[in-house]
Amino acid sequence: MTHADSTPFDRHRLVIAVDGTSGSGKSSTSRGVAERLGLRYLDTGAMFRAMTWWLLREGIDVRDAAAVAAAVGRPAIESGTDPRDPTITVDGVDVSVEIRSDEVNGAVSPVSAVPEVRARLLDLQRAVIGDGGIVVEGRDIGSVVWPQAEVKVYLSADPDARAQRRAAEQGGTDVASTQQSLLERDRIDSGRATAPLTMADGAVHVDSTHLTLPEVIDQIVALASTPRDTGTRDA
């Protein structure tokens, strides 16, 4: 297996960047790819959620960018990288469940838009990626966090499919309100000044609307096993 430039392909140093919209299946896909290829896994979104959870617990107004910026260096956030059992801790406490609450869901976008938050977590993310051998999911992995990633994927699905999936994950919540929430998250993430959601140069666009999870995983595993060309394209 080789890269497009014919240098040896080293899976143990490989970085697969998976970006995309909310509800498109990034987490399940990234974990599945990491398990299939024997790689580590990093959910960068969980890091932003962990920061948001900590801010809320500390009583800091998440919509006060200056207050958030002043506090970002205080919590110790650590991500586990086992795709079968990913963990996220804040000051040594596992908050994997707490960060998925409705309160955190409603607060994570303004927190994520604060440049100081992104700068702090960017350093942590790059430290975890280190020498590679990892699948990393988020919204700016291929464009900002690790633009040199050997494989870049932009995962999307149409809004209805995304809403159906997310509502099912949340125990059958209202699909229409879920779709509205997802679209609002897209609007905020795409429009923020710092590290907006975008398809990175060299990324492959994978539309998961009509694909099963195993089919999406198969596509990305195939991308990681074949030479790649530069320039964004559809799978």
Q: Which residues line the annotated binding site?
A: 20-28
* pLDDT given at position 175: 65
Average pLDDT of the chain is: 86
Both tokens of 7, joined, read 């240098």
Q: Which residues line the annotated binding site for ATP?
A: 20-28
Query: What is the rounded distance in angstroms from the CA atom of residue 173 to the CA atom of residue 48?
Result: 23
Q: Is the pLDDT of residue 6 over 50?
A: no
Say if residues 232 and 199 touch (Cβ distance below 8 Å): yes
* pLDDT given at position 83: 97
Query: What is the rounded distance in angstroms from the CA atom of residue 85 to the CA atom of residue 31?
Result: 9
Q: Is the pLDDT of residue 231 over 60?
A: no
* pLDDT given at position 85: 94
Beta partners for 94? 89
Q: Cβ neighbours of residue 73 under 8 Å, at least 6 residues apart?
A: 120
* pLDDT given at position 198: 74
Q: For 58-98, what is each residue's pLDDT tens digit?
A: 999 999 999 999 999 999 999 999 999 999 999 999 999 99
Single out the residue of 207, 209, 213, 212 nearest to residue 234, CA to CA.
Answer: 207
Domains and CATH numbers, the chain: 11-234 (3.40.50.300)
Give strand ranges (E) for 141-229: 151-156, 204-207
User: Stretch 34-53: mean pLDDT, rounded?
Assistant: 97
* pLDDT given at position 176: 73
* pLDDT given at position 54: 98
Q: Is the pLDDT of residue 186 over 60?
A: yes
Single out the residue of 72, 86, 71 nearest to residue 26, CA to CA.
Answer: 86
Say if residues 110 and 63 touch (Cβ distance below 8 Å): yes
Query: What is the rounded distance in angstroms from the CA atom of residue 207 to the CA atom of residue 14?
Result: 23
Percent above pLDDT 90 for the chain: 63
Beta strands at 88-90 and 233-234: parallel, antiparallel or unpaired:
unpaired
- Residue 148: how many CB atoms within 10 A of its CB? 10
